[in-house]
Structure 1
């Protein structure tokens, strides 16, 4: 049986039930979440430990510098986007991590733990209340923290739905090559 590939050329939206899935399917670490028009992703919201706002912000700068020095440093995560937000809802400072990526939830978190271990880079999550101290030796505790603080979205939209980061980069390389060819013809 041939499965039809989703059409990337037509924008798509998907409304998601409060549970975060349509039909319960268990992954290695809990429910699997559907691939949406925005690919896979998650949002984590957790309270920041007292006095750690500057450390969290500095960690953002560390990521910026890491990527400037080594643009492929986060490549194993197959990311499209990351967005980090600090906000206070009246009960203290909270951190929101939003990531959109091409792999499923379980693979992404496993790859993140492995990446942190291989590079020696620590995770910004160490500044969040309830994050396990033994996360490097206990990946299951890391994954449980992520699961416990995951807040499923209820709507996801994709202007170019289901396209992977590699497919998008390939299309942009083709565009650049075509533009260069046209420039040389003039």
Structure 2
């Protein structure tokens, strides 16, 4: 079988997955798989909006990620097909932009986010019995449901997420340094050279906040 391929521009890569949601009720529960999936995604969204750390925030390669439940009434809008037809189904649409290779990216999902991935995709048909932590079956499942992207744009193709955060932090520190060099009347303070030396010493490396490739943001979960 010919699998869809991810598109890369510079160091940025995309992936899009389109998976059928399991129909019917969850065994032992009074809700459908779609309802359980919606609840799981709403929980993630609430945490993001409330600025509560989420497991996905620990991964330093993700530029963007989105999950959508596509229901017949949505994708058949303005069509001549009756969305109430019981043979129609809902789908989970996932798309993400990230740094590096798609297999490495999904392996990070398997290692760092396995339980969360199961809570989401476990509501979709034919989810592997071993879940996301059984990486090879998870990888096969993802590739079987990957769909091609016809156009992909990356605003900063040569900048990784880690590098963008470094530059963001550096800009804040540099603005603070410039403010230190000015007196209330706008003139230069004495010993600018000493302030510059201190600034360079404090901002030459970022050993804690910016993990090496394959690492995670430990602080995101308060660790």
Q: TM-score, normalised by structure 1?
A: 0.70
Change (3 A) 1:168 1:75: same
Match of 2:175? 179
Change (3 A) 1:137 1:178: closer
Q: Which of 9, 16, 41 is the equivalent residue of 1:60?
A: 41
Larger Rg: 2
Q: Which moved more, 1:49-58 or 1:122-131?
A: 49-58
Paired residues for 1:15-164 under 5 Å: 33-37=6-10, 39-50=12-23, 51-64=32-45, 68-70=51-53, 74-76=57-59, 78-88=61-71, 89=75, 90=83, 91-117=88-114, 120-123=115-118, 124-136=120-132, 138-164=134-160
Mark the runs of 5 or more structure 1 residues left unpaired by the alignment. 1-17, 22-32
CA contact (8 A) 1:38 1:157 kept: no
Change (3 A) 1:44 1:160: same
Change (3 A) 1:78 1:141: same
Q: Which moved more, 1:56-65 or 1:155-164?
A: 56-65
The CA distance in 2 between the partners of 1:139 and 1:71, in whole Å, is: 22
Q: Which moved more, 1:67-76 or 1:140-149?
A: 67-76
Q: TM-score, normalised by structure 2?
A: 0.59
Aligned length: 156
Structure with the greater relative contact order (CA < 8 A, sep ≥ 6): 1 or 2? 1
Q: What per-residue deviation string (whole Å, max 9, x for no partner) do you get for residues 48-100 of structure 1? A: 12222332222223334666443665433621111111112452211111111
